Amino acid sequence: MTDTPLLNISSSNQSENQTNSTICPELEDWWDIVYYIVPKYINTVCVIGMLGNVFVLFVYSLHKGPLKIAEIYLMNLAVADLIFLMCLPFWAENINNEFNWPFGNFLCRSISTSITLNMYTSIYLLVAVSVDRYLTFVHTLNHREIWSKTMTKGICLLIWFFCILLSIPAFMFRTVKDYPQWNISACTLDFPSPTWERAESLVRNVVGFVLPSTAIIFLNFSTIRSLQKTARARRALRAKGCKRHKGTKATRLIFTVVLMFLFCWTPHHFFVFLDTLYHTKVIQGCFWGEVINFGEQFAYMLATTNSCINPVIYVFVGKYFRQKALEVFSQFIPFLQSYSSSTVKLIFIFFYK
C-alpha cells in the first residue's frame, strides 16, 4: 500500500479559498460522509485481512514439507500485508478524528513508512510471483533446477532492501504539523521544496506502479497465451480431461490476479498523478481540487482492499494450499486423519471455492 493522502484534505484548496472564497463551496456534509464511511471500511478490511494473512502464515510455517518457490514469495507477501494491516487502525482513527493526528510524531513517521513499504514490497513480490509463473508455464525447461530456493530467498531480501530504500522519504519528511486554519495537528508530508514533492509523486507513480504493473501484465498475459496454445494442442491430440482443466484453471487464476490488482490500485495512482498535475498548475480550480481530495480518500480505501483479498486470490483458491492446510490442522484435530480423502476435498471445496 501506499502512503495515505493524509493531508491533502483541502490543502489543495487553501490558496484557492484565500484568493476567491466565493468560488469554492463549503463541502462539510461531503466530508462527514468520508469521516463516517472510510474508517469503518478500513477497520473491516483490517480484521478480515489480518485473519486471512495470519492463517496463511500459520499454514506455511507449521507445514512439515518444504515450501515451493512461489510459496516463499506468497509468505513474504503475507508478511508485507500484515505489516500494513497492523497500521490501518491508526489511519482509521486519524480519519475518524477528522485528520487530527493524536499519536505523536514517532508513530506518524514509522506507520507512514510501514504503509509505504507495503506498497512497494507487495507489487514487487507480485512481479516475482509472475516471473515464477511465466517460467513455469511458458518455458518448457524446469527453471527450478537452476533457480534454487536459496536464490529465491535472496531475491526476497533484495526486494525488501530495495523497498526500504524507497520508503526512506516517508520517514524523513513525515511529521506532525499544525494547521491553525483547520484547528488540527496533522500527520503530513512536509517536503523542503516543491521539487521534492514532485519527485516523490513521480517515483511513486512510475517505480511504484507503472513499471512493475507493466511487467506483471506482460508476464501474465504471456503465460495465458502459452496456456491457450497448449490447450489447443491438447484438443488437436484429443488429450482432454484433467490436464485441460488444469490449464483452464491456471488461466482463470492469472486473469483474476491481474484484474483484481489493477482494479484495486489503478484509481489510487490515477489520483496521485492528478494531484501532481494540480500542484504543478497543469490543472487548476476548485472543481479539480475537490475531485482530487475526495477521490484520493475513496481510492485509498479501495487500495486497502488488496491486502485483504490477497489470501483469497493468491492462496486460498490453490489446491496445494488446501492440502497443506489439511495436513497442518490434522496435527491438532486428530479426527481429521480418519476422514476419507473425498470427504476432506468436499469440505475444502465448500469453504474455499
Phi and psi (nearest 5°) for 140?
-75, -30
Of 74 and 30, the one with more pLDDT: 74
Q: pLDDT tens digit string along 112-143? A: 999 899 889 999 998 998 888 888 777 755 55
Residue 18 reports pLDDT greater than 50: no
Do 222 and 351 lie in one domain? The reply is no
141: in domain? yes
Phi and psi (nearest 5°) for 179?
-125, 90
Average pLDDT over residues 52-62: 89
pLDDT at 100: 93
pLDDT at 69: 81
Q: How do 184-189 and 174-179 pair as beta strands?
A: antiparallel
Q: pLDDT tens digit string along 140-190? A: 555 555 567 788 899 999 999 999 999 999 999 999 999 998 889 999 989
Residue 286 reports pLDDT greater than 60: yes
Lowest-pLDDT choice from 18-27, 206-215, 249-258: 18-27
Do 274 and 325 lie in one domain? The reply is no
Chain centroid offset of residue 254 CA: 16
Average pLDDT over residues 98-121: 92
Do 225 and 323 lie in one domain? The reply is no
Local confidence band at 46 (pLDDT 50, 70, 90 cut-offs): very high
SS (H, E, C) 227-291: HHHHHHHHHHCCCCCHHHHHHHHHHHHHHHHHHHHHHHHHHHHHHHHHHHHHHCCCCCCHHHHHH
Do 231 and 108 lie in one domain? The reply is yes
pLDDT at 136: 78
Do 332 and 212 lie in one domain? The reply is no
1: in domain? no
The pLDDT > 90 percentage for the chain reads 32
- Mean confidence (pLDDT) of the chain: 79
List the domain range (segments joined by +) for residue 337: 318-353
Q: pLDDT tens digit string along 68-88? A: 888 898 899 999 999 999 999
pLDDT at 253: 64
Do 263 and 288 lie in one domain? The reply is yes
Do 166 and 285 lie in one domain? The reply is yes
What does the chain come to in residues? 353
Average pLDDT over residues 2-21: 39
Residue 326 reports pLDDT greater than 70: yes
277: in domain? yes
Average pLDDT over residues 322-327: 77
* Count of structural domains, the chain: 2
pLDDT at 194: 85
Other Cβ atoms within 10 Å of 42 Cβ, number:
24
CATH number of the domain enclosing 30: 1.20.1070.10
pLDDT at 250: 57
67: in domain? yes
Do 137 and 262 lie in one domain? The reply is yes
pLDDT at 244: 47
Cell of 241: 480431461
Of 319 and 75, the one with more pLDDT: 75
Do 72 and 199 lie in one domain? The reply is yes
Cell of 52: 486471512
- Distances in Å between the Cα of 340 and the Cα atoms of 51, 323, 337, 345 are 28, 13, 8, 9
237: in domain? yes
Do 353 and 260 lie in one domain? The reply is no
Do 180 and 281 lie in one domain? The reply is yes
Of 100 and 280, the one with more pLDDT: 100
- Please tell me the pTM assigned to this model: 0.81
64: in domain? yes
Do 129 and 113 lie in one domain? The reply is yes
175: in domain? yes
pLDDT at 49: 92
pLDDT at 246: 52
Of 65 and 54, the one with more pLDDT: 54
